Amino acid sequence: MKFKFLLASLVLGLSSTAMAGGAQDAIDAAKKAQKEAAAVGMEWRDMGKTIKKAEEAAKDGKEKKAIKLANIVVMQSKESLKQAELAKTAGPRF
């Protein structure tokens, strides 16, 4: 299924996304990414929730976890911008 592929590419993508810069940088980037997705009408449901979780993790001193969560949102936003691009020419296939 396409969805599995998407998940897999999300997970793979994580390891290549910046780990340096600390949790706050990652969370700021996630927030910016969420805004970009919303601006093209393609925000995913759990972006806000995931950012909140990242913030909680950061507060608890779990920097690695916070960065990981924030990076998920950044990856999701990239996918959603692709969806927005494709949406411009969306139409029936019959």
Partner 1 sequence: MKKLISSVALLIIALPFVTVQASTPAEDTEAFRSYFKKAVPDVKFEDFQNGVYALDADSREQWIEIEEFPPYELAIDKGTELWEKPFKNGKSFASCFGEDISGTRAKYPYHDEAQDTIVTLEGDINKCLTDNGEKPYKWKKGNIAAVSAYIAYEGRGKKVDVHPKTDKAKAWYDKGKKFFYAKRGQLNLACADCHVYNFNRKVRSELLSPALGHPTHFPVFRTKWGEMGTLHRRYGGCNKNIRAKPFKAQSDEYKALEYFQAVMSNGLELNGPGARK
> What is the contact surface with partner 1 in residues (CB under 8 A)?
2-3, 6, 38, 41-48, 76, 79-80, 83, 86-88, 90-94
Nearer Cβ to partner 1, position 18 or 87? 87
Residue with tokens 């969805």: 3
Minimum distance from residue 46 beta carbon to partner 1 (Å)? 6
Nearer Cβ to partner 1, position 21 or 41? 41
Torsion sign over Cα 40, 75, 44, 9: positive
For residues 9 and 37, is the Cβ–Cβ distance under 8 A? no
